[in-house]
Structures are given as C-alpha cells and as structure tokens.
Amino acid sequence: MSNETSATTTRRGQAPRGERIADWADGRLGIYSLAKSNMRKIFPDHWSFMLGEVALYSFIIIILTGVYLTLFFHPSMAEVTYHGSYVPMQGIRMTQAFESTLDISFDVRGGLLIRQIHHWAALVFLAAMMVHMMRVFFTGAFRKPREVNWLFGFLLLVLGMFTGFTGYSLPDDLLSGTGVRFIEGVILAMPLVGSYLQMFIFGGEFPGHDIIPRFFTVHVLLLPGIMLGLLVAHLILVFYHKHTQFPGAGKTNTNVVGMPLLPVYMAKAGGFFFLVFGVISVIAAVASINPVWAIGPYRPDQVSTGAQPDWYMGFAEGLVRVMPGWEWNFLGHTINFGVLIPILLFPLVLVAIAVYPFVESWVRGDKREHHILDRPRNVPTRTGFGVAWLIAYFVMLIGGGNDLWATHFHLSINSITWFVRIAFFVGPVLGFIATKRICLGLQRRDKDKVLHGRESGIIKRLPHGEFIEVHEPLDQEQLHFLTQHEQPEPLELGPEVDENGVRRKIKRSQKLRAKLSKSYYGEDNVIPKPTVEEYKEITSGHGHH
Amino acid sequence: MKKLSARRRHPLAALVVLLFALAVTGGLYAAFAPADKAQADDTAQSLAIKEGKKLYAVGCASCHGTGGQGTSDGPSLVGVGAAAVDFQVGTGRMPAQQPGAQVPRKKPIYNNAQREQLAAYVASLGAGPTIPEKSQYNSEGADIAKGGELFRTNCAQCHNFTGKGGALTDGKFAPTLEGVDPKHIYEAMETGPQNMPSFGDGSLSKQNKKDIIAYLGAVNGDESESPGGLDLGGLGPVSEGLFGYIFGLGALVAVAIWVAARTTKAKKS
Amino acid sequence: MSETGRHEDVPEENLPVEREAHEGAVTPADDPFADPGLPAHEHRKQDIDERAAKRSERTVALLFLVSMIATVAFIAAYVAIPIDKIVYIWPIGHISALNFALGLTLGAALFCIGAGAVHWARTLMSDVEVADDRHPIEASPEVKAKVLADFKVGAEESGFGRRKLIRNTMFGALALVPLSGVVLLRDLGPLPGTKLRTTNWKKGVRLVNQSTNLPLRPEDIAVGSLTFAKPEGLEEDQEDFNEKIAKDALMLVRIQPQNIKDKQELAWSHEGIVAYSKICTHVGCPISLYEQQTHHVLCPCHQSTFDLSDGGRVIFGPAGHALPQLHITVKDGFLEAASGFEEPVGPSFWERG
C-alpha cells in the first residue's frame, strides 16, 4: 500500500499506521491486554534500586561482547608455535586458545577493547549483583512475596561466579591455568570418586587437551543459557510483584509511588543501559585487565607469585589458603581435609545468606506481604547478621590476597594467615554485637528526635541566664517517617503447665523459635518507639530540652 | 628578586642557606671524587685491596668478622666474590641498617670507588663470581621470548610474571625488579643474595641470564608497553577487583544517584 | 494493609499492631504521627519557564549530537590508527593508541545517548509522582476452591490415584531413563588406573636442566642454588609434554650434608644435592619459592611451606603431606634417578593410601 493511499484512508477515518500495526499484533499476541497493566506501571526512584539494573546491563554487555569474541577465539588445546605480532612471545609454544587470545589482543582491530569490556563488565556484573543482594538484604526486600525472587537472584550470583571462572580459564594463560590446576586438586580431593571424576572431566591426565573446549561450552552455552532463563524469571517477578519502596509520606503497603514506565522510567532505564555501557567502555579504554601477553601461556611446571582468581572467587581462595593442612589416612585411603573442608564451607557460607529469608519469616511467624522497606536500624538482629556475614566474607577476601597484603603493608604472610584464621570466627561475632548496638543507638536517636525535635545549632539564653539549644519540632512527614515501622512482640511459649496442671509438651524447635524471636524483638533488642501520648505530653509542655 | 629579599630575614633563611651550601659541597665532592681511578694494573689492584680492607674494618667487620669469616650476625664472605659485594653495596643493601626479616634496598652509602675497593678486598678473601661485563647483560644477541619462558620457569614464582615482586615466608619478600640495574640483576642471579637461591652457570647459562635480563627490560622498564591501559601494578586479579569495585561500580553508583535524584524544583517566589 | 496470610501457628495477640493505611491526606487531628499523604507536586523550573525548558531541550539534543560525532570519530580511529601504535598518555603509560581511541569514542557515544535520555526524562518529562494500588498476590478463596475442584476432577479422570500399577511403572520408567544419559558420559575420559601413581622417572633416567636442556652434573649445582630438571627425553614439542611435565617437574637444591636433618633424605641425596617434586602436594601448583638460607620452599598459590632440609616436611599451610623426594645418584659424571618416585606426586586422592 503506498503512502498516498494510506494518507487518504486515514483521512477517511481509519486508524493511523502505527495503530494498525499494533492492532495486527494484538490480534495475534494480545499486546493490548499486556500493555494495559504494564505501560504505565509505576517504579519508585532510588539510586539503590538501580544496582540490579547495573547487573542486568553488564550481563547484556557481556553477551554482546562475548558473541564478538567467539568469532575470533579458538577453544582448542592443540599446541602451536606463536608467530604473531607480539614480539616477547614469538617462538613460544602455546595452545591455540592462548594464541587466538593474543591475536584478538594484537591483530584484531578493536579486539583488545572488546576483550577488556567483556572482562571489566564481568567484574562489574558480579560486584553489582553482590551489592544489589546486600541492598535487598539490609532493607528486608526479600520478605513475602519476594522470597522466590531472592532465590533466583542468589542462583544468578552463584552461576555468575562459575561462568566468570570458566571464562577466566579460557585463554589458557599461566594464571588461569594455575586456577584450573587448583580445580583438578579439588576434584581429586573428593572422597571415593575423585580420581575418576578428574579423569572424566579432563579427558585423561591433567591438563590434557579437552578441558578448554569443555569449559568453552559451559561458559558460552550452558551457564549463560540457564542464567538468561533465571534472569527473565527474575524480571517478570519484579514486574509482577511491583517494586518495593522506602517508607515516607504517602507510601503505604498497598500502594507504589513513583514514575510511570512510559515515558519516564523507560527513558531513565533505557538511558541507564547506555550510561553503564559507556562507563565500562571508558574503563576498558584506560585500564588494562588480564594482560595475558604479560602472563604467558600455561605450562604445568611454571607459576607466578600472586596467583589469584578474579575477586568473586577470592572468598573461596581465602578459605583454601588459611585452612590448616589436615589429611587423614585410614585403611589405605586418603582424605585431604586441607582442600575438602574449605570447598564444603564455601557453599555453606553462601547458602547461609540464601536461606535467611525463610529463617526470618519462621522466627517472626509473619505471613503477610511486605512492600515497605525496613530501615536497617529498625531490625538490629537482621542488620547484625548481615554485617557478620559480610565480615566473614571480607576476612576471607583478605585471606585470598594474603601475599599481596603482606608485600604492600610489609607484614608477614604467616601472621596474616593466622589473623584471618582467628578473625573468621571472632570478627563476625564482634561485628554482630557492634552493629546491633549501633542500630539501637540510632533507634534511640530517632526517638529523641521525634520527642524533642531536631537540634538546630542555635543557642539561646533564657531570661534567668540558662543557655539552651533550640530544638525545632519535626514536621509531620518526618514524624511519620521515624515512627512508621512495626515493632512486633516476641513469640511466647505460653505457660509450661496447662490449666489442668499437666506439663505441656513443647517441641525443641518451638523453644529455639521463641529464643530467636526474643533475640529479634525482645526487650533488649528494640527501643520502643515513641507513643502519641509521650509525644503529646512533651510537646504540650514548654521548652524543648 | 623582590620576593627573595623580602624573605631574607625569615627565620628559616639561615637553614635554607645551610642546606644549599651542604648540597653544593656534596655535589662538588661527588663530581670531583675519584670515581673511576681504580686501574686494572697490579699495583692499583693491591692498593684497592688495601683501601678496601680499611673500609671493611670500619663498615662490615662488626657483622661479617674481621677477616670476612662471618659471625652470628652475618654470613661468611669468603668466596662470595666481587659480584656479591657489587650487588649488596651497589643496591644499598649493605651495610644493613637494622636486623629484620630482610635487608631492603636503599640508597647506596659507599661511592663507586669505595665499592670497588671493598669488592677487591672481599674477592681477595677467596675466589668467587666477578663483576659481569656489560656485554654479558646488555640486550645484544638476546632472545626476549626465550627470556620470558626462562623467567616464568625460574623467577616468576617469587618475582611475579613481570617482576613486580611477591611475598615469601615470615615477612620476607622477593623485591620488585622495576628500575633495577641489569648488572645487579645479573649479579643477583649469580650470587643469590639473602634468601634468593643462586643461579650459577650450571643452572642458568650465561646466555639464559642475558635472555632473562632482556625480557625484563622489555616488560618491566620505564618504557614498557601496557597496550590495554593502566597496568594496575601488574599484580593481577586483586588489583583488578579493587579497581572494578572502586572505579567501575563506584562510577556507576554515582551515575545511578544522578539518574534517580529528584530534579531541582523551581524556587518559590 | 493486606491481611492475606494465615497464621494458625501464631497466637493472634503476638502479631504486630496493624498499621493503618493513609491513602490521601487524611490526618486525624489526634495522631501527630499519621501519614500526611503524598506531598503536593512542586514544579521544576522547566515546568514553568519555557526558556529553561528550551535550554534543557538544547542540552539533550547536544548530547545526542555529541554521540553522533563520537561514533564518527570511532570509525575514523578504527580506519586511521594502526593497530600496533603505542603512545604515551600521562598518567596511564605507554598504551595502544587504537584501544584508547576506540574505547573513549565508544564510551562517549554510548554515554551521551544515556545522558541525553536521562536528562530528557529528568527535566522535560512529567515528574508528577503517581501512586498505584497493589493487589494481594494470593487468589481469593473462590478462585482457590475452583482450582482445587478442577484439579480433583482431572485427577479422578486420569485414574492416577486408583490405578497404582500404572503409576508405579511410570515412576520406574521415568527414574530409569536418565541412566542412559549418565552412561553416555563414560567416554569423557579414561579410568584412572595407575596414571596418578606413576611418573616418567625410573632408575637410570638422567636429570636434564629445564633451562639449558643439558644433562646435569653434580658440579652444576652449588650450595644455595636452585635448578629445575626434567627427565631425559622429554622435549617441549612433544604432544603430551604438558601431561608429563605436570608430574615430572623436579626441583634441585644443594644443602650442606650436615644441615640435612632427615636420614632418608640424606641417603637419597648426592653430596647434599636433593631432588624434590616441584608439584605441591596440596592442589598441584608448581611450588618453587625456595629460600636458600632457611631451606624453606613456599607455594605461591596457597602458601604451603615445606622444609627441604627435613624430608620436605610441611611446616605451614594447607598441604597435608610432605613433598615427595626422588632418590638420585651419579653415573658417568651425570646425575640420574636411582629409582622412580616411591609415592604419587602432586595432590592427594582417595586411593593414594
């Protein structure tokens, strides 16, 4: 149909072209019903809500650049002699995987940039997921109805770690090869099946000729495929649940306040993708990452000091580094606890935070939906647990880089290792106690502010000579903000004997639950928020002291 | 000039003049001091040994013993050769300032002539490696790629891929090789200073050493290329992770704050 | 407040006091803490001043324009700058001109699109905050009852519960069928056999210097030196060089015999020359950070520390057993193995014993 006729038909009262295309699609895909609930969907604005977007966009960047890299990368362990343009490698024997990585870096125009964007985006992806998860944790955004989405996010983080690790291994350079050798040691340490698994995974003795092609399939197909599925599910649930929001004037548990998807959020979120891509491109322009040409090709008899994995595996590396060398021999069998225990602790520590939402809802016995975020100070036990977890995590990150901390701060590597061994157990406890105290202090300050107003910094001299600081009363918005949170009562077990004097049977799990509940909401763990009566009594008096 | 005269009576003026005078004297001394007078003829050699012995008695004997036989504070110097002295004194490690896990590199205390005299004296105590000739450590006829492979086999385990250094046990460390004179690198391989093992010619041939030095010159000099950008210390994933968090995620959070912030409202008039 | 959950296991009085919803600006005079409702919308400058709006419009357009220019510059850089050109950029260093130019132009092109879109949204699109209702996710009791009834009908019709034979055989078939997939994985690799226990070292194999590729003589190895060796006949260009060197790599040091504490170590040495496996017994890194004064050797991966003057004993770190030593001797002036390794080299495994 030509433009002229369409123009005339429009004049005759038919719909414009865009609308007719939409009609066509609606008749087949039902897009109007879909758009009805989504086009003007409301999203609250807060910078911390965009951490997840950073992760999402870096994932897209990784896929785009990753596809480009596959056009040039040869995932093969066949040995060749290098004759490319990087002089300090000419004549060196290496695998095709390493050779093609050098080619991407030195002989494909822009290849180095794409490689660096890919790797930087991967580091940012994992970092953003981690910080996003912490935001969700500390604000209680994981509560009903979002527990499943929390698990999806957790799985994305774990899969992201392994996708990152396999990708880091692909160039077959000396650093990543050392990492693969570590994996071999871990597999061998598995009781009973270790040596069989090692032979099957590596296709024979280490390093063999199969591991890089196999990692390649896992890295570009298997893991990203699963992640893409989880990611879509994660996003659908975000849409379906509607986003949480921070407390404030006009924000309730039954509404969501913000800007509509079309146009504001679409422009902001769409624009943010370009911003993320732009920032990562600039970083790839100015900062080198994984310069494999300086590291050299992998050979099992070579190694460099400072052999570390990428940061997201640093936590596991730390666990392995600080583990004492325990090994058992019995009945002709060997169990290598020096490897086995850290490798079991690694998922356990991660799972500890993954199952937290279910623990908390059990302790609280709360089955309602929550859409208003908690201020971390108002849930001291949860905040304390989160800080304790982070301390354990970061102590192990220090352990993972113990050799670099040693050289850069002129310390003994052995002392750092001992510090980490102790701090892994002591640090979280101290962190938990300190955080809880700080939270309660902040609650007290909030209460003070509500009852006595804000310290204005103005000193006034009263007629009888006394100096006082003028406290300005808060407006209603602030009063509401500081008092809107719930303060549940702890669970009670009830009397031990019932009305007939018969001992009630109380399950151990019930006792534990009551105890935990007390540690969450008991007297010592919460500062009662000001009541209206208290407020009125103080404000009706005179002088805001 | 006006500025200068205005500050003439400043309380610190005398100090500045004093420092200036000291610097000039020191500079003149350094310029006129007998730098390369030690000739290779026999008389000069024996003279150097004599002078060296005097220097040794003052600066070294307290730890290494009066005849270089070693004490509980310092190893024997018999047979360590002139190369060891040239390395230890030339990099300022000796004389050591204080006991510790490891004696670090610092500004040399002895000048070239004194160092040569000390070297001559210590060499006279027992045969050992001599100071290498320039032709042994310059890059002429060296194979950089082979040097890289040798470096990764023999050196990188302590000194890192590109010679940035690394940690050893109990506070000891392998120092960075950045800015180290090729001659000193050669001497270090030959003599094995402190806890570094030595790599004599039976272990690394002369050509091997030359290759390694040429490789280091290519990847760890002032002019070394880092095509990808900032090398972040050449330390690998730890510094990359820190950079990714601080500048990557940090910049993105800054951007996110801008995106999510409320637009400034018009002032009520 | 959505009161959707059931809490049969929680006493009613333990539930927190319900928060009242304050939709709109209804403020009971007696509750100073009540939700005052959404604050009134305040205008931005752009909303009331057309000139400010125009300025924003120009800024947005300028950003999009800069992006276009940056893309053109990207293409120009791609064409014009040779790939091997190195430039010095302070303070970054000697870097690839092409990488730097491409990265900055691409970054600018992308960033400006994003900045333009966000600036547009922030200054020109409506910034009136809107409140949208949430609805409980749980279905109403009627819906739930209907679904359960439907399911019951379907289940009845299938006879799944009644015909147990069908049910059980189906479970059996479904449980068995994945086994084919497991069986198919068998050819991923060979069985371990003795592969992890054996190396290429055996009696009479000469020790060849890894760096010079020459057979080693005792006088090549001075006290305090460190030398790496491989078995004679193993060359870098062999197809299985990596698999072999992964087990065979050897580290040679010479310790004054009187300083060797372990009797067997002394017996297996030659005039103080001891040969140890270079492969760490923890997870297999090539351990070789040898401190010649302490005779300690440190692994750079996980800091296991072994004492080479005391039978390769572990003195720190996560390794579980000593480094294996190779018994060496001298024949015709050259160092050679007096026997193979007596124990498996490298990380331990279940069958190691």
Residue with tokens 């820190």: B242
Please tell me if residue A83 touches chain B, with a CB cutoff of 8 Å: no
Distance between CA atoms of residues A186 and A279, nearest Å: 37
Nearest to A253 by CA among A370, A145, A365, A367: A370
* Element spanning C253, H or E: strand C250-254
Under CATH, what is the fold of the domain A44-374?
Answer: Cytochrome Bc1 Complex; Chain C (1.20.810)
C229 and C93 share one domain: no
pLDDT tens by residue, A14-55: 789 999 999 999 999 999 998 988 899 999 999 999 999 999
Contact between A301 and C246 (Cβ < 8 Å): yes
Quote the Cα angle for A143-A148-A151, to 5°: 100
Distance (Å) of CA B41 to CA A535, B127, B132, B163: 100, 19, 18, 39
C215 and C340 share one domain: yes
- My answer on whether omega of the bond before C136 falls inside 30° of 0, hence cis, is no
Please tell me which of the candidates A259, A281, A327 has its beta carbon nearest to residue C320. A327
Nearest to C343 by CA among C235, C228, C264: C264
Distance between CA atoms of residues A171 and A116, nearest Å: 13
The verdict on a CB contact (< 8 Å) between B203 and C226 is yes
Contact between A408 and B176 (Cβ < 8 Å): no
Q: Which two tokens stand for residue A394?
A: 């970061």
B-C Cβ pairs (cutoff 8 Å, strict): 127
- The lowest-confidence range among A143-147, B39-43, B50-54 is B39-43
Shortest alpha-carbon distance between residue C113 and chain A (Å): 6
Give the rounded percent of residues in chain A with a pLDDT score beyond 90: 77
Contact between B209 and B199 (Cβ < 8 Å): yes
B213-245 CB burial, b ≥16 within 10 A, e <16: bbbbbbbbeeebbbbbbbbbbbbbbbbbbbbbb
List, for chain C, all residue ranges whose pLDDT scores fall below the cut of 70: 1-29
In which region does residue C107 sit, left (phi positive, over 0), alpha (psi from -120 to 50) or beta (all else)?
alpha
Please tell me if residue A401 touches chain B, with a CB cutoff of 8 Å: yes
Q: Which two tokens stand for residue C151?
A: 């399911």
Distance between CA atoms of residues C232 and C209, nearest Å: 9
Q: Which two tokens stand for residue C35?
A: 């939700």
pLDDT tens by residue, A256-311: 999 999 999 999 999 999 999 999 999 999 999 999 999 999 999 999 998 899 99
Secondary structure (H, E, C), A124-159: HHHHHHHHHHHHHHHCCCCCCCCHHHHHHHHHHHHH
Contacts with A312 from chain B: Cβ below 8 Å: 241
Say how many C-beta atoms besides its own lie within 10 A of residue C121's C-beta: 24
The verdict on a CB contact (< 8 Å) between C321 and A191 is no
Q: Which two tokens stand for residue C10?
A: 């929680």
**DSSP SS3 for A218:** helix
Distance between CA atoms of residues C314 and C297, nearest Å: 10
Contacts with A182 from chain B: Cβ below 8 Å: none
Residue with tokens 């084919």: C180
Contact between A170 and A215 (Cβ < 8 Å): yes
C335 and C261 share one domain: yes
Task: Indicate whether C308 belongs to any domain.
Answer: yes
**DSSP SS3 for A240:** helix
pLDDT tens by residue, B124-143: 888 888 899 999 998 888 99
Shortest alpha-carbon distance between residue A464 and chain B (Å): 40
pLDDT tens by residue, A90-137: 999 999 999 999 999 999 999 999 999 999 999 999 999 999 999 999
pLDDT tens by residue, A62-101: 999 999 999 999 999 999 999 999 999 999 999 999 999 9
The verdict on a CB contact (< 8 Å) between C103 and A113 is yes
Residue B39 has pLDDT above 50, yes or no: no
Shortest alpha-carbon distance between residue B252 and chain A (Å): 6
Rounded-to-10 torsion of CA A122, A124, A126, A132 = -150
Nearest to A309 by CA among C265, B85, C302: C302
The verdict on a CB contact (< 8 Å) between C225 and B166 is no
**DSSP SS3 for A288:** coil
Whole-prediction pTM value? 0.90
Contacts with C282 from chain A: Cβ below 8 Å: 185, 325, 338-339
Calculate the average pLDDT of chain A: 92
Residue of C nearest to B147 (CA): C211
Calculate the average pLDDT of chain B: 85
Distance between CA atoms of residues A259 and A325, nearest Å: 57
Shortest alpha-carbon distance between residue C83 and chain A (Å): 6
Please tell me if residue C225 touches chain A, with a CB cutoff of 8 Å: no
Phi, psi (degrees; rounded to nearest 5) at C96: -70, 125
Question: What CATH number has the domain bearing residue C249?
Answer: 2.102.10.10
C211 and C340 share one domain: yes
pLDDT tens by residue, B60-75: 888 898 888 888 888 8
Distance between CA atoms of residues C250 and B201, nearest Å: 18
Q: Which two tokens stand for residue C281?
A: 């017994």
Q: Which two tokens stand for residue B250?
A: 């940090």
In which region does residue C124 sit, left (phi positive, over 0), alpha (psi from -120 to 50) or beta (all else)?
alpha
Q: Which overall architecture, per CATH, does domain B133-223 show?
A: Orthogonal Bundle (1.10)
Contacts with C241 from chain A: Cβ below 8 Å: 79
Contact between C33 and A400 (Cβ < 8 Å): no
Range of the domain at C249: 207-352
Shortest alpha-carbon distance between residue B200 and chain C (Å): 7
Give pLDDT, residue B29.
Answer: 58
Please tell me if residue A266 touches chain B, with a CB cutoff of 8 Å: no
Distance between CA atoms of residues C298 and B241, nearest Å: 25
* Element spanning B259, H or E: helix B250-260
Distance between CA atoms of residues A415 and B53, nearest Å: 41
Give pLDDT, residue B47.
Answer: 83
Contact between A526 and A443 (Cβ < 8 Å): yes
Residue B239 has pLDDT above 90, yes or no: yes
Contacts with B164 from chain A: Cβ below 8 Å: 306
* Element spanning C87, H or E: strand C86-89
DSSP letters spanning A475-507:
-HHHHHHHH-S--PPPP----SB-TTSPBPP--
Q: At what angle do helices A174-188 and A337-354 cross, to 10 degrees?
A: 100
Distance (Å) of CA B224 to CA A15, A89, A321, B217, C95: 66, 15, 33, 8, 9
The verdict on a CB contact (< 8 Å) between B195 and C291 is yes
Contact between B82 and B124 (Cβ < 8 Å): no
Local confidence band at A493 (pLDDT 50, 70, 90 cut-offs): confident
Average pLDDT on A145-157 reads 97
Contacts with C314 from chain B: Cβ below 8 Å: none
Residue of C nearest to B252 (CA): C111
Number of separate domains in chain C: 3
Distance between CA atoms of residues C109 and A274, nearest Å: 9
pLDDT tens by residue, A194-227: 999 999 999 999 999 999 999 999 999 999 999 9
Give pLDDT, residue B4.
Answer: 57
Partner residues linked to C275 by β-bridges: C252, C326
pLDDT tens by residue, B138-161: 888 899 999 999 999 999 999 998
- My answer on whether omega of the bond before A428 falls inside 30° of 0, hence cis, is no
The verdict on a CB contact (< 8 Å) between C31 and A532 is yes
DSSP structure class, residue A181: H
The verdict on a CB contact (< 8 Å) between A175 and B260 is no
Distance between CA atoms of residues A262 and C121, nearest Å: 10
Average pLDDT on A460-466 reads 88
* Chains in contact with C via at least 3 Cβ–Cβ pairs below 8 Å: A, B
DSSP structure class, residue A170: T
A-C Cβ pairs (cutoff 8 Å, strict): 400
Quote the Cα angle for A275-B257-C59, to 5°: 55
Nearest to B189 by CA among A294, A305, A304, C224: C224
CA atoms within 13 A on the CB side of A505: 1
| Contact residues for C193 (Cβ-Cβ < 8 A; gap 6+) | none
Distance between CA atoms of residues A182 and A171, nearest Å: 16
CATH for B33-131, among 1.10.600.10, 1.10.760.10, 2.40.170.20, 2.150.10.10?
1.10.760.10
**DSSP SS3 for A316:** helix
Q: Which two tokens stand for residue C20?
A: 């009242």
| Contact residues for B188 (Cβ-Cβ < 8 A; gap 6+) | B87, B196
What ipTM was reported for this prediction? 0.92
Q: Which two tokens stand for residue A467?
A: 């100096």
Q: At what angle do helices A51-70 and A111-138 cross, to 10 degrees?
A: 150
Give the rounded percent of residues in chain B with a pLDDT score beyond 90: 39
Structural domain boundaries in chain B: 33-131, 133-223
Please tell me which of the candidates A288, A290, A302 has its beta carbon nearest to residue B226. A288
Give the rounded percent of residues in chain A with a pLDDT score beyond 70: 97
Q: At what angle do helices A380-400 and A314-322 cross, to 10 degrees?
A: 70
For strand A42-43 and strand A255-260, is the pairing parallel, antiparallel, or unpaired?
Answer: antiparallel
Q: Which two tokens stand for residue A248?
A: 């404030």
Give pLDDT, residue A6.
Answer: 47
Residue with tokens 């479904």: C174
| Contact residues for A109 (Cβ-Cβ < 8 A; gap 6+) | C78, C83, C98
Structural domain boundaries in chain A: 44-374, 438-496+509-540
Say how many C-beta atoms besides its own lie within 10 A of residue A341's C-beta: 18
The verdict on a CB contact (< 8 Å) between C219 and B197 is no
| Contact residues for C124 (Cβ-Cβ < 8 A; gap 6+) | C46, C53, C56, C57, C60
The verdict on a CB contact (< 8 Å) between A204 and C17 is no
Average pLDDT on A149-155 reads 97
| CB within 8 Å of chain A, chain C residues 231-260 | 236-237, 239, 241-243, 245-247, 249
